[in-house]
Amino acid sequence: MATQIPDQKKVGMVSLGCPKALVDSERILTRLRADGYAMSPDYAGADVVLVNTCGFLDSAKEESLEAIGEAIAENGRVIVTGCMGDEADLIRARHPKVLAITGAHQYEDVVEAVHQAAPPSQGPYIDLVPQPDVKLTPRHYSYLKISEGCNHSCAFCIIPQLRGKLASRRVDAVLREAEKLVAAGTKELLVISQDTSAYGVDIRHEERDWKGHPVRAHMTDLARELGQLRTADGTPPWVRLHYVYPYPHVDAVIPLMAEGLITPYLDIPFQHASPKVLKAMRRPANEAKVLERLANWRAICPDLTVRSSFVVGFPGETEEDFQYLLRWLEEARLDRVGAFRFEPVEGAAANALPDPVPEAVKEERFARLMELTERISAEKLAAKVGRTLPVIIDEVGEADEDGDVGATGRSQADAPEIDGQVFLRNVPETLAQGDVVEVEVEDADAHDLFGVIAGS
């Protein structure tokens, strides 16, 4: 008589928030898959649904609560994890039917909660089969988380309360994961943390052996080693650095970009430029020095892209402060800029600051900032028309009625999901997701580029 293989229990996942939370979701699902669970693409097929929440802003909390409610309505068996895990009372007040609640990156607790809610199908035909890591991103790019937590005490932020102090991973473990990802087909590594520049501070930049030589747990050492990786066709993967605070040692990374070892891209959370506002935010107020360093970086690596984010309407921000920020941005000419209207977050020190900015003023300042940065972006992208740039392909379309095929990709100046895109016309049908091709730029708007594969 044939042996009956038990049905695998299935887990659904709703992952909200930043890329760091997405990596948490991948790790949770990887552990569950090793325990014999299958992944469900929808609510209906899941034995239990995980909702990985974001709790950074009140608007993000509300989005998380709505996602929990939808999961309960569609499935009924819901486990909550992530940054809102510390607010279990709030979650249960809105959704008393939630089965369990765990905090951010508490992987063992999440897995145990799933085991309780939907015991795994034990059996040698499932449990002894090796399972690959779960990826929630396309095969050609991957997030590489190098640390958890943060040592800063910014007045508007509660990340240290949610995720704790800085906890860096061993450098050999990070490099081993990166090597494994590239071997599996990753063409672009996105290095993420709460503070990439501080990597290794908590472990005193300890050295580990890697490929027969010592490597420190330090951003510059890590960047240099990541630049030595090679894809299956012998080319270096794109290595993109996110959440980089402009500490002095960041200067040492720029030559690596000029050499082509690291993608010429820095994501730096400046947040503001006014010294008075930066002081109130409890952030470094050396904006003049930053302008000088930006100029030096661009002299070394002319193709450097700098993206940043700014908060408008912080308590006490005057029109003079805001005008200072606009003048600074005009001089800095950052390539990519995002902006946020200040929101009070429960537990943040900024809530107690005097002189809150009226909502109407926040909106007006937000619109003015975005108008300025959009103009700068349009000018910088227009300067790329006529150039030939490497582009990584994210999606290839279907042939239209004339038989023409279009594709969407990104240049080295564009991180997935947050920056612009490159739209290609008349691409060969053999073009595939993850291919890196040379593209002649034909046109540009305020955010995106348009072109054709060079020589076609």
> What distance lies between CA 29 and its chain's CA centroid?
18
* Terminal-residue alpha carbon distance, the chain: 61
Nearest to 263 by CA among 280, 241, 235: 241
Strands 213-216, 207-210: parallel, antiparallel or unpaired by DSSP? antiparallel
- The verdict on whether residue 54 carries a ligand-binding annotation is yes
CB atoms within 10 A of CB 7: 10
Residues 335, 307: Cα–Cα separation, whole Å: 6
Tokens of 88: 């279990």
Residues 297, 269: Cα–Cα separation, whole Å: 17
- The verdict on whether residue 301 carries a ligand-binding annotation is no
Q: What are phi and psi of 10, to 5 degrees?
A: -115, 140
CA dihedral 423, 426, 432, 438 (to 10 degrees): -70
Residue 343, classified by CB atoms within 10 Å of its CB into exposed (0-12), middle (13-18) or buried (19+), is: middle
- The verdict on whether residue 154 carries a ligand-binding annotation is yes
DSSP-derived secondary structure letter, 54: -
CB 133 within 8 Å of CB 185: no
CB 196 within 8 Å of CB 190: no
CB 232 within 8 Å of CB 181: no
Grouping H, G, I as helix, E, B as strand and the rest as coil, residue 276 is: helix
Q: Which residues belong to the annotated binding site for [4Fe-4S] cluster?
A: 18, 54, 83, 150, 154, 157
Q: Which residues sit in the known binding site?
A: 18, 54, 83, 150, 154, 157
